[in-house]
Structure 1
Amino acid sequence: MSSPTADVSVRVAWSDDADAIAAVQVRAWGEQYAGVLPPEAIPTDPAPVAEAWRTSMGRPADARNRVLVALERNRVVGYAVTTPAVDPDCDPIADGELAELAVVPDERGKGHGSRLLQAAAETLEADRFTRAVTWTIATDDRRRAFLESAGWAPDSAHRELDLDGSGTTTLKQVRLHTALA
């Protein structure tokens, strides 16, 4: 007799998922950026975030812009975004980017992030990218360890984002990369 398994999966997001993705983003960013950014810089209302998701998924700027969702039964618990890499030192034909990966904080440790990361890599590979890059907060050791355990490594690129244009709200990031198949 086998033990029951969880009803979990990853699929391409639909426009109808915008509200659920926004709810995940608001919760995940609230934790991820707490103490890194001022509270007013972190979205707390999922409604405008959902509208932005509906717009971006309805009319992607590039056919290779993809949104994937992690599901627990029929509930969205995480998402990932893949796209061609836009960094000046990247090749937009060969290099894809994992632009975002987020899982609801109380759903972490259940394999959703690993499934999303694998699906994102497979999606990038299907789009004929040979390398993937992603940016992570320089001080986010937990995320960096998660990515490194999956075969990603720092590639020496780093940046400081000026989030409000005044130089008072900045975010230091490091870039990681991995070869695809």
Structure 2
Amino acid sequence: MPPTADVSVRPAVPGDETRIAAIQLAAWRTAHADVLGEVVLDSLDEQAFVAQWRQAVTTPPGPGYHVLVACDGPRVVGVASVAPVAPPDPMQAPGGVVLALEVDPPDQRSGHGSRLLAAAVDLLRADGADQVQTWVVEGDAARERFLSGTGLGPDGRTRRLATGPGPDEEAHVVAEHRWYAAI
């Protein structure tokens, strides 16, 4: 039998948070440089990201919150996090939201994102969700292509987020579009 790649997805554990933060920041700097700009990206505090990921891994805010990592051998190369979403009607099943889905830029296009999303959807289903949603920064064509290939599509909802000061000290605002699929 020929050798096979040792790739996997597992729940994040304490100690993963530094690598998770580094992956998220590297992915954002690659994917969102044009949209967020240098001022915003340079203002991101890596230690604050580490602390937030540490809390998400060690003390999630409640049931249905999960952090997963993709591994290539022993090396963490990607991250996904999901959370429950209350149904619009109490008689409907709950949904879930993919809060983060990032793969380290040198490891992208190797199947890690697909494995992470599949594992995230499996967890949401196990928690009773019947739909999944995520938000995509306007102009992120690569993420849109990826999500389209997995069966998600835009549902017409848009939100605008202030991300910090822009080059002229005015608030820098980014549009995000919601993508959705029944699961």
Normalising to structure 2: TM-score of the pair?
0.88
Find runs of 4+ consecutive structure 1 residues off by over 6 angstroms.
Answer: none
Find the residue that maps to 2:139 and give its secondary structure. Answer: coil
Displacement of 1:44 after TM fit? 5.6
What residue in structure 2 maps to residue 61 of structure 1?
A: 61
- Aligned ranges 1:26-175 → 2 under 5 Å: 26-42=25-41, 46-85=46-85, 94-164=94-164, 168-175=171-178
Question: For 2:178 and 2:163, how far apart are their aligned partners in 1?
Answer: 18
Find the residue that maps to 2:164 and give its secondary structure. Answer: coil
- Quickly say closer, same or farther: Cα 1:51–1:140, change in 2 above 3 A: same
Q: Any idea what the Cα deviations from partners look like across 1:14-58, whole Å, max 9, x if unmatched?
A: 122111111111211111220111323226653332122112322
- Residue 19 in 1 paired to residue 35 in 2? no
* Paired-residue identity, %: 35
Question: For 1:93 and 1:16, how far apart are their aligned partners in 2?
Answer: 34
Q: What is the aligned residue count?
A: 178
Displacement of 1:177 after TM fit? 0.6
Paired letter, 1:69: V
Q: What is the Cα-based RMSD across aligned positions, in Å?
A: 2.3
8 Å Cα contact 1:133-1:177 kept in structure 2: yes
8 Å Cα contact 2:102-2:113 kept in structure 1: yes
Which segments of 5 or more consecutive residues in structure 1 lack a partner in the other structure? none
Question: For 1:179 and 1:93, how far apart are their aligned partners in 2?
Answer: 11
Q: Any idea what the Cα deviations from partners look like across 1:116-165, whole Å, max 9, x if unmatched?
A: 11111111111111000000012111111110111111111111112238
Question: For 1:153 and 1:162, how far apart are their aligned partners in 2?
Answer: 24
Normalising to structure 1: TM-score of the pair?
0.89
